[in-house]
Amino acid sequence: MLRLKEYCDKVRDDAYGGSVELVEDGITAMANEIRATEPKDIMTEIEGYVDSVLAVTSPILPLIHLLNRCMCFTEESAVGTQKCSDPREAFLELLEEIRQEQRQCVDKIGKVGSRLIARRDKVATFSTSGSVMRWHEVQGGVKIYKIH
């Protein structure tokens, strides 16, 4: 089970191939953390998650989007515009919503990429990010060469 400390270590060590995987694991780590600890002050806990990740990351847009959505959640709760009886469950629902939004975006990128690259084309890339690999999955037959 991926926890926040292990995730932050991996982010700091640049262990991710792309921002898609970075955000997926960020969502998983936060969800696992909140399920495991069941904090009394969930808003302070969420802010702590964001601070921990920001301390070890570069400005990668999809990850910053995730962290921004988390902070908006805490701010809406603080001013009373976020109405929910169970903030923990509401936060877990938000994380899943963000995960689904990202997956839909990656699917769209994959479809566009598959239209741009003909079947059996060869593509050389230095990127093994989730969105690049999605081209391959959607197209079914594009050979992607990984350059190390």
Task: Tell me the whole-structure pTM to 2 decimals.
Answer: 0.69
pLDDT at 16: 86
Query: pLDDT tens, position by position, for the chain (148 residues)?
Result: 999 999 999 998 888 878 888 999 999 999 999 999 988 888 999 999 999 999 898 766 788 889 999 999 999 888 777 777 888 999 999 999 999 998 888 888 777 777 777 666 676 666 666 766 776 676 665 555 554 4
DSSP string, 65-104: HHHHHHHHHHHHHHHT-S--S-HHHHHHHHHHHHHHHHHH
For the beta carbon of residue 28, count every other beta carbon within 10 angstroms. Answer: 16
DSSP bridge pairs for 121: none
The tokens describing 8, both together, are 């932050």
Of 112, 116, 132, which Cα lies nearest the Cα of 124? 132
Q: Looking at residue 125, what is its pLDDT?
A: 66
